[in-house]
Chains A and B, each alone.
Chain A
Amino acid sequence: MAKIQRTKLSKERIRSAWIFLTPMFICLAVVAIYPLITTINYSFTDARLGDLYNYNYVGWFHYETLFFYDEWWWVSVKNTFIFSFFSVFFETIIGVTFALILNNNMPARGIVRAAILIPWAIPTIVNAKMFQWMFNQQFGVFNEILMDLSIISEPIAFLAYPDSSMAAAIIVDVWKTTPFITLLTLAALQMIPTDIYESTRIDGVSSWKVFWNITLPLIKPTLVIAIIFRTLDALRVFDLLYVLTTNSRETASMSVYARQWLVDFMEVGQGSAASTLLFAFLTIATILYLIITKTSFDRQGVY
């Protein structure tokens, strides 16, 4: 790139690109960078909600508390990772499967494709409330069905216990976000030239091999993006757990923990420290993904 001599035209285009990008950079600075710096600053103070302008710096105090003295922080870290791993794992498998099915020429494909978007379009709070009723021990449809099929003899209180309510939350999240993976994968699948598949058919390659050696590598860049997005989203999980579960600290995520300190306990310092650590986890997760999958976005040139 660098060796190509720039014409006047391309120089002008670069300049106008910068002009067009500037508003976005300003926006980012205002909505992302400023709050981020403020939060990091608060994490070193003893600020309290209600009086955010009078505070003292307390150094690493809150981080020490989180790391060495507060077992519930580590419970929330563990919960967040369990939730993220299982929900992203299942929605990737199910999402790619759906995409492969939808990529075939089948009747009413347009309608099915639109229908599959519905879970994604429902707001998380509505979604969580809806499932809360479906999981209800007395009136829930899941217990009704399981009882009718004689699989269980007594209604199960799905949301009453930490383990089962975490499983329920993962199920709801998979239901909601699988369409996201499906759509992105489907878009990638449709960019693969059909002549590749024609030649494999002529050579008589098994369909599993076609998927593993041709389809998967070709959709990998898209899939990696989708998984990164989903992982970042899952690590931040708040509303689903807050509404769906009993709200005890045994099922809290990192975001729930941070909000509790920020708002319930009004200790902005400790809450900000938790938020900052969450941000650190998100950054590490992204970097790890990029290294492991060795995806170079520049080389692909599509993004």
Chain B
Amino acid sequence: MKLSLKLIATFFVALMMSFNVFAAKITITMGGDDERAMREHYRFALDWAEENGHEIGYVYRPASATDTLNLYQQICSSGSSDIDIFMIDVIWPGIFADCAYDLNNIFDDAHKADFFEGIVGNNTVGGKYVAVPYFTDAGLLYYRTDLLDKYGKSPPSTWSELAETAQFIQDKERAAGNAKMQGFVWQGAAYEGLTCDGIEWVNSFGGGNIIEADGTVSINNPNAIAALKTAASWVGTISPEDVVTYKEEDARGVWQTGNAVFMRNWPYAWSRSQADDSPIKDKVGAMALPGGGSDGKMTGALGGWQLMVNKNSKNPEIAADLIKHMTSVEVMKTKAIDTSNLPTRPVLYDDPDVKAANPFFGMLFDTFNNAVARPSTVSHKYYGQVSNVFFNEVHSVLTGSKSAEDAAAAMEKDLKALSRKF
């Protein structure tokens, strides 16, 4: 019975394939930060499809990374072939390794050598090349150059400087009738984004990486506690109280309408802020996030997205060819200029056109090398739970329902229990 079913299925697949031997339909999931980014990604895929006589299907992924992860997990666990190419977060190669087509079959070492070594390493799980680095990311501090100039302030190098400047400008602007002005907006909702913001605070104060590479749970230390206290002190002062419900686009919504002095966000926000229809065009600066104290570290959470082929894809080679196109020097350069996506090819950081479009890229090259990675490699498939413990405890410190000391102790206890499973 089983065998005959299989035979019939094979027959149908063969029948269907015979109709489109030359034109394969490749379905991809990309974008998500906003509508424009999605169309940008799509454009390059369409060029490739036209050139090679293929067809592109498109699945709009959810704006929240957590929701995207869930969607992909459902698709992968069902063994579905509906989506050929997934755009995956830098923290997911471990999770999706079993669902990935081994790209070592397509890309040789010489090809891989053109990309950042660290990210290629991150994307290689147990010898399997899970995904090609598409663009990289690091948390940035955005500031309003016009407002800083107006009040004679300079971009802050520590968090306390930032708080001071933000409070000063916010008070002055509100007194001048700009009641909606906020000092600093960031991502405070209980989701993966808060793990990024949170690890930046902790790391900038010299409070470690939550879980160190050797598996030691390091979060319960005085520097980390100081970092959490500092962040909690912003809520309701320089940041609106409901910043604890913000994701990336909520923060950018306040920022881009001209209602914030500072914003923590990813590089994509640069080109949005500088778009022709942006009310704050040419009034924006971007820099590394401030350090914790005078000896604090200026850091940013390592982010970025990779392109992975679904192992259940009916046309893995064709899908990999599309990835080759999407990660080519030409496409990456255009994307760096148009959407300020950080290239994963080091050579493009020296490109004059790219530098002209994104003045902060040159400086970010160093930040990027210093960027703090979330503890996804060490916690492997338990990273989801590690991150969940961290962002929930940080969230309860932000909303004032727990003290930073209690939260750090609770994290240590929960993470230690979890780390026994790694």
Chain A residues within CB distance 8 Å of chain B? 48-52, 136-138, 156-162, 246-250, 260, 263-266
Contacts and interface: CB of A to CB of B under 8 A. Distances in A.
Chain B interface, >50% SS class = helix
Contact of A263 (B73, B98, B241, B401): B73
A138 B191 contact: no
Contacts of A158: 242
B392 A160 contact: no
Contacts of A248: 190, 392, 395-396, 399
Give the most central of A50, A158, A159: most B CB within 10 Å.
A50
A253 B416 CA distance: 26
Given A49-B77, A246-B244, A160 B399 contact: yes
Chain A interface, >50% SS class = loop
27 contacts: A50-B76, A50-B99, A51-B98, A137-B241, A138-B259, A156-B241, A157-B240, A157-B242, A158-B242, A159-B245, A160-B242, A160-B244, A161-B399, A161-B401, A162-B401, A246-B189, A246-B190, A246-B244, A246-B395, A247-B189, A248-B396, A250-B401, A260-B388, A263-B70, A263-B74, A266-B73, A266-B381
Nearest to A156: B241
The 5 closest A-B pairs by CB, nearest first: A157-B241, A248-B190, A157-B242, A137-B242, A160-B242
B180 A50 contact: no
Nearest to A132: B245
B69 interface: yes
B307 to A, nearest CB: 20
A264 B384 contact: yes
Nearest to A72: B392
Contacts, number: 76
B80 interface: no
A61 B183 CA distance: 49
Interface string B382-393: 101100100010
B187 to A, nearest CB: 11
Contacts of A263: 70, 73-74
B73 A50 contact: yes
Contacts of A50: 73, 76-77, 98-99
Nearest to B99: A50
Interface of B: 66, 69-70, 73-74, 76-77, 95, 98-99, 180, 189-191, 240-245, 254, 259, 381-382, 384-385, 388, 392, 395-396, 399, 401
Nearest to A50: B77
A48 B381 CA distance: 10
Contact of B384 (A52, A156, A266): A266
A54 to B, nearest CB: 12
A162 B399 contact: yes
Contacts of B242: 136-138, 157-160
B197 to A, nearest CB: 14
Contacts of B388: 249, 260, 264-265
Nearest to B66: A264
Give the most central of B76, B259, B395: most A CB within 10 Å.
B395
B359 to A, nearest CB: 30
A247 B388 CA distance: 11
A50 B76 CA distance: 6
A158 B245 CA distance: 10
Contacts of A159: 242, 245
B391 to A, nearest CB: 8
B396 A250 contact: yes
